[in-house]
Structure 1
Amino acid sequence: MDTINESESLAKYAKALSHPTRLAILKHLENQSCCCTGDLIELFPLAQSTISQHLKELKNAGLIQGELNPPKIKYCINQTHWQQAQVLFLQFFS
C-alpha cells in the first residue's frame, strides 16, 4: 500500500472511531463473536435508529461486517480491516 492510500485508509478509520459510542460498540464486538442491533440497544441507552447509524458508519469504514439473518442483521468485526487499522495507527504513532 502506498503512502497516499495508507493515509486515506487511516483517515477513514479515524473518522469511524471518532465517536465514543462507536468505540464502545467495537469494544463490545471485540469481546463477542457477533451480535445483533437488538443486543446493542439493550446495552446502550440509545434509540435503535442511533445505534443503526453508528453501525452504518463502522460498516462503511470496513471495521465491521453484517450478515443478514432475517429478520435481523448479525454484526461482527471485520478482522482484516481491524488488523489493518491497528497496523496503520501503530505506524502513525511510532
Structure 2
Amino acid sequence: MGLELEMEVIVAYVVGLVIIYVVGYALYKIFKKPLKLLGMLVFNGILGGMALLFVNFIGGFFDFSIAVNPITALVAGFLGIPGIVLMILLNTVL
C-alpha cells in the first residue's frame, strides 16, 4: 500500500508540472508582444533622453535648451531626428 501512495504522489507531481508548463507557455505566448513593445518603448525613451541631453549640450553654447522629461524623451525616441527638429522648432516658435 505504501508503494501505491508514492506512485499517486509522483503522478500528481508530474501532472502538476505539465499543467504549470502548459499555462506558463500560454502566458508567454500571450505576453510576448506586449513585453517586447514595452521594452522597445523604454529603450527608445532612453535613447531619446540621451539625444535631448546632447541637443541641450550643444544648445548651451547658443543659449538654447529643451526640457528633458518622459514625454519629450519618448517623442525624440520614436520620431528620431525629425522629432528633435520638431521640438527645436516648437521651442523657438512658441
Higher share of residues assigned strand: 1
Common fold: TM-score over 0.5: no
* TM-score relative to the length of structure 2: 0.27
Q: Which one scores higher on RCO, CA 8 angstroms, separation ≥ 6?
A: 1
Higher share of residues assigned helix: 2
Bigger Rg, which one? 2
